Structure 1
Amino acid sequence: MVPLYYIISAVLLGWHKLFTVLGLDPKGGLSWALSIIGLTLVIRAALIPLFVKQIKSSRNMQLLQPKVKELQKKYGHDRQKLAEETMKLYKDAGTNPFASCLPILLQMPIFFALFRLLSQAAKADKPHGFLTKEKAHEFGHAKIFGQLPIDGNFWASRTWGDTPHAGVMIVAAILVLAMTATTFTTQRQLMAKNMPAEAMSGPYAQQQKMLLYILPVAFGLGGIAFPIGVLLYWTTSNLWTMGQQFYVIRNNPAPGTPAFTAKQERDKAKAARHGHTATDTITEAAPEPEQRPSTRQQPKRQSRSQRRTGPANRATPPSKPDGQAKSQPAEGDTTNEQGDDK
């Protein structure tokens, strides 16, 4: 966790410094809460290449489902052979069934590092990474809007006497519901819009359907024990994932999916609004070239005397009476040509 402590604390302090310069109270909970949101944005931006890899892997897995079904029919009686052929199919296609889990798996250590950094700063003012003891105390005891402690959670909320802090419970419950809803919406969006019909059956589809309900419930049950600061991180991360996935599915959907059909309809409507169809666009963009003869006509070979004669005379030579026509000198006969010249 030590390297993660330094990374997280460096990003947190950087955002906290920025919000302090902008006029927020450095000891207030709002500046630290916004710093956690800024930390989330930095981490998710760094994970964009992995997200692209996840999208490609998920798309390849969907497109390979018909071939997987064929392997199941062929090797359904031999599980070991089926597993070997399936992994070979994935390898030949250049995809990895575990690549779709990479963004979540890489975020979990960061999630728990932030959880420990916040909880230990709140309980014992213990600094980690670049946090000093003073900054750790500010971070752990910060209160949002002057009332809601950033380290408070739904169950172990701070109390005023014997009465639980209702504000902490309400805010924590709202964040837990938001985290659960965004997780469910993200998974549902992927299955409903970016999966072909043939990929909605089979073991991979069954696994996705199970995760559709298991993950939100697991996060919801565990979220009631998370501090408000950690819930801010996770909810912001889910909102980023949902928006990023919506953009990818809308603009680059997998072929044969409802999202692909919707994109084609939008393209047709856009072309109709501009007053032309797809064929008109092609015709206007690439006009048909002029027809030219495929071969060039070569001029006829002429004798030296014909070349000396003007073009008009060659076009309409004078007619001569029969018997008086003078024979034309053959090409290369210099004697006759010199006589004529004289």
Structure 2
Amino acid sequence: MDTIASLFSFITWPVSWVIVQFHKLYGAIFGPDTGWAWGLSIVSLVVLIRICLIPLFVKQIKSTRNMQVLQPKMKAIQERYKSDKQRQSEEMMKLYKETGTNPLSSCLPIIAQSPFFFALYHVLSAIASNKKIGVIDQSLLDSARQAHIFGAPLAAKFMDSADKVDALGASLTDVRVVTAIMIVMMSASQFFTQRQLMTKNVDLTVKTPYMQQQKMLMYIFPLIFAVMGINFPVGVLVYWLTTNVWTMGQQMYVINQNPTPGSKAQEQYLGRLLKGVTAHGEVRGRTRRNTVKRIVAKGPDRNDIERKFVTGLAKLGLAPQEDGTVVKSDTAVADADGGAAQRRQQPKRQTKAKRQTGTGHQGGGKDDDSSESAPKTSLNKKTPQDEKPKPAGKSASGSSRQAKSGQRKGPQRPKHPSKK
């Protein structure tokens, strides 16, 4: 870890300078040598970095959603060019270019944070070794070494020896208890962040391998951070726990205000929006009007949740407009399905028995009467007329029957002796 941190030593000076500036502010309030002053300085560093990374976070959301939408097409390309890996890669790149999707965009916030993370690790390691680094001089170094967070020094680690912890003015038990609690909280926040993404902000109507990958990461990432956490100083654990909590809150806000179409979060959001329209008779807020505007623009391509929302507006006698507002309309119910032509109601197909029964009653009435009024002949005696073929469409009972498929109507030719 120290070797990796040294690769980012070029950013050590800016990171140490930012921490010192925040330390001056909090030191005037809580005291320069307290854990609150140094701990809040690290938290403020995280907040500053995450605010600067908000544009990348927006890109991450768009990229993640585009990847979810493209999964069926990507799977079709993989199956079509299963034996040609080069053509498969070319088609994938073509698909990304046409849709403006970058697979690496989902990792941009983590990649952008990495230099600051390792630079902070390098600074805290220098403090633990009593070495000057960046703008931290000897007086600031002594102050940082005296700072404790719930009895654990900023530069102490879970795996440190008792002698090293004693040199920092703390007990090994306090350090391990504090670091263990912070590691558990760090892993739990990572798990909850990924879980709320999978359970609330994913289109459940599309089953793709991407969802399975995200589900695996939901369990793998917390384990990775738990294993790595035992080698992190307390100050780095504060940094990572803060950034996880920030990510969780930021994602919760996005899920509530701009959910993925077709997800459970969208159903809850449109339910709240419908209640608001019911209470006020209008769409309040620019964000909500933009949501209605997108639903109107989709037309017949709306998903089931969006159709349900438009139908709910129609029951109130309201019709959504292209500008995101709603107006009273008598034809709202007819337009509730997004302007799509209503399907024609096809008559139910009768069974074969019902069709034959109906045909027999229609065409067999006269035949039944004639058969009853015809004179009865003596039994076991056949006349030449009886041997003549009966007219097509009439049976002995007088009911007409259709010829079987593949047979000629009327009298059948006798089979040749060789074909019997």
Q: State the partner residue of 1:151.
A: 155
2:141, 2:171 → 1: CA distance? 25
Assess if the C-alpha contact under 8 Å between 1:36 and 1:229 holds in 2.
yes
- The alignment status of 1:60 with 2:60, answered yes or no, reads no
C-alpha distance 90-110 of structure 1, shift in aligned 2 (>3 A): same
Q: Tell me which amino acid in the other structure corresponds to 1:193.
A: K
Q: State the partner residue of 2:32.
A: 26
| CA apart distance, 1:227 | 1.0
1:64-93 CA-partner distances (Å, limit 9, x unpaired)? 122223223322333332222122111111
- The alignment status of 1:252 with 2:258, answered yes or no, reads yes
Q: State the partner residue of 1:208.
A: 214
- The alignment status of 1:142 with 2:120, answered yes or no, reads no
Q: State the partner residue of 1:264.
A: 270
Q: Tell me which amino acid in the other structure corresponds to 1:184.
A: F
| CA apart distance, 1:287 | 7.4
Q: Tell me which amino acid in the other structure corresponds to 1:62.
A: Q
Q: Find runs of 4+ consecutive structure 1 residues off by over 6 angstroms.
A: none
Assess if the C-alpha contact under 8 Å between 2:27 and 2:33 holds in 1.
no
Q: State the partner residue of 2:17.
A: 10
- The alignment status of 1:99 with 2:102, answered yes or no, reads no
Residue number among 246, 268, 271 corresponding to 1:240 in the alignment: 246
C-alpha distance 200-31 of structure 1, shift in aligned 2 (>3 A): farther
| CA apart distance, 1:245 | 0.7
Q: Tell me which amino acid in the other structure corresponds to 2:185.
A: A
1:17, 1:160 → 2: CA distance? 27
C-alpha distance 197-119 of structure 1, shift in aligned 2 (>3 A): same
- The alignment status of 1:193 with 2:189, answered yes or no, reads no
| CA apart distance, 1:219 | 0.6
Q: State the partner residue of 1:47.
A: 53
Residue number among 110, 132, 136 corresponding to 1:127 in the alignment: 132
Q: Tell me which amino acid in the other structure corresponds to 1:18.
A: L
- Identical columns (%): 44
Q: State the partner residue of 1:301.
A: none
1:194-221 CA-partner distances (Å, limit 9, x unpaired)? 221254422x333322322221111100
Q: Tell me which amino acid in the other structure corresponds to 1:71.
A: I
Assess if the C-alpha contact under 8 Å between 1:157 and 1:168 holds in 2.
no
Assess if the C-alpha contact under 8 Å between 1:118 and 1:139 holds in 2.
no
Superposition CA RMSD, Å: 2.4
1:73, 1:53 → 2: CA distance? 29
Q: Tell me which amino acid in the other structure corresponds to 2:48.
A: V
| CA apart distance, 1:154 | 1.6
1:78, 1:43 → 2: CA distance? 44
Q: Tell me which amino acid in the other structure corresponds to 2:95.
A: L
Assess if the C-alpha contact under 8 Å between 1:15 and 1:38 holds in 2.
yes
Q: Tell me which amino acid in the other structure corresponds to 2:137.
A: T
Assess if the C-alpha contact under 8 Å between 1:121 and 1:127 holds in 2.
yes
Matches of residues 63-82 of structure 1 in structure 2 within 5 Å?
63-82=69-88
C-alpha distance 141-116 of structure 1, shift in aligned 2 (>3 A): farther
Matches of residues 165-184 of structure 1 in structure 2 within 5 Å?
165-184=172-191
C-alpha distance 123-160 of structure 1, shift in aligned 2 (>3 A): closer
C-alpha distance 285-226 of structure 1, shift in aligned 2 (>3 A): closer
Higher relative contact order (CA 8 A, sep 6+): 1
| CA apart distance, 1:285 | 6.3
2:219, 2:192 → 1: CA distance? 11
Residue number among 210, 213, 231 corresponding to 1:225 in the alignment: 231
Mark the runs of 5 or more structure 2 residues left unpaired by the alignment: 1-7, 283-311, 330-420
Q: Tell me which amino acid in the other structure corresponds to 1:128.
A: I
1:259, 1:77 → 2: CA distance? 39
2:207, 2:326 → 1: CA distance? 40
| CA apart distance, 1:223 | 0.1
C-alpha distance 285-73 of structure 1, shift in aligned 2 (>3 A): closer
